Structure 1
């Protein structure tokens, strides 16, 4: 099966946590793994990640200490890191999505992923998700430029990211 002039991916590359850290993460804390993708089942979509989130809560989860301050459990060693991502649908076995659609999900830190739109953490940006507002609406929603921005009023759009 092809999309355009290229074949759909059969493998994904993911970034895994190789060892915990008690300081700033370094390259040795991570490893790359190439994994065979499962075939799409009815209701699933294949997504290529375009943007992946890196945020401070991820650092907290890179320690085995559950009392480190995160409401989420520590990342498991040898497993792909999770975080928010924005991706493009490459293939779809779901009636609500077609190739080219953009989606947000929590299976970041992979180049491609098979997703079940009914699973935890999955969002369709067409339904007002923050990624939709950021990726699609921000340039059009920015207020007009003023000659001298006020020190008390931001000229940035007031969208929640």
Structure 2
């Protein structure tokens, strides 16, 4: 049978288990031009929380009663599409289920010899592309500048900080545990780190590690933490709005400080982006990221939960801060 995770209730605030249900169906068979993919890895991403709201955004909301969707690396088990053969490893936006039937035009064939298969959902996938395009195309880092990354131990933040180091910047990472901050310094080469959960004053902590101010802020978090970083921005600073995970589960709009005056008097740029905005740069990004990874200049870490039955808890764990690096669910063996 084909087990499926079904989205059944729009959450208010932090999602709970009652927003999800299980369903079993027969394993599908492909029609003309289709393939059936057995799920190997599911990607678990914070942006999925936004799709659970019935509001207009850059992607349509998840439909109630339907299989939850996300990035998937899988193996073709049946094909009626000329470009795919049984056994091919593929990448696509597929269902949270054991098997997906999909038109071949929505899949990309992977070359397993280039890198570990899971990296297509991490360093060489959406998180890596997001970090690369956001930092280099918006931030335009210059050697010697100070870059601050919030959510720095997440899949995007970890890569963004390492790219900044490759460009000669001084990098400060903000994360939520001593284990995470130690990893960022010891393995990823960050110059300074802050555990925001143990600091009595983030403004004071930022003052201590950013004595010359902040030139680039790669913002994955938002909320009051980002308000504190904004107080340290230099003239000509670039603020890259990548994610706002501190805001995703609020039941009412957050009324925080207004940044316009700071942006004005410091001639600063604040720009939000979605990785698809930079589709024209994706080939360049994957090329560079693959080289940096193979040369050991970018370190990668994954948090892998085993079993489709644990996928929802892995998603909820994003908001508890359970993961270091990319959060994945391994559903089956290769």
TM-score tier, shorter chain, comes to: 0.5 to 0.7
What RMSD over aligned residues (CA atoms) do the two structures have, in Å? 3.4
In 1, Cα distance between the equivalents of 2:116 and 2:53? 28
Distance 1:99 1:47 in 2: 9
Q: TM-score, normalised by structure 2?
A: 0.35
Normalised by the length of structure 1, the TM-score is: 0.67
Residue in 2 that maps onto 1:143: none
Report the CA distance shift for 1:78/1:151 in structure 2 as closer, same or farther (over 3 A): closer
Give secondary structure in 2 for the equivalent of 1:13. Answer: strand
Please give the residue correspondences for 1:1-161 in structure 2 after superposition, counting only pairs within 5 Å.
11-66=1-56, 70-119=57-106, 122-126=107-111, 134=119, 151=189, 156-157=297-298
* Higher percent of residues as helix: 2
Which shifted more, 72-81 or 150-159? 150-159
For the residue of structure 2 that corresponds to 1:14, the secondary structure is strand
Question: 1:93: Cα distance to partner?
Answer: 2.0
- Structure 1 gap ranges (5+): 1-10, 139-147
Q: Tell me, in whole angstroms, the C-alpha distance in 2 between the residues paired with 1:132 and 1:79.
A: 27
Relative contact order: is structure 1 or structure 2 higher (C-alpha 8 Å, sep ≥ 6)? 1
Kept in 2: contact 1:15–1:109 (CA 8 A): yes
Query: CA offset at residue 111 of structure 1?
Result: 1.0
Work out whether residues 104 and 131 of structure 1, in 8 Å CA contact, stay in contact via their aligned partners in 2. no
Q: Deviations over 1:87-138 (max 9, x none)?
A: 011122223222221001101311101121124xx22224xxx985826xx8
Contact 1:89 1:99 in 2 (8 A): yes
Distance 1:115 1:149 in 2: 39
- Superposition deviation, residue 150 in structure 1: 8.7
Count of aligned pairs between the two proteins: 133
Q: Per-residue CA shift, 1:54-85, capped at 9, x if unaligned?
A: 1111011112233xxx4112211111111110
Contact 1:92 / 1:99 at 8 angstroms: preserved in 2? Answer: yes
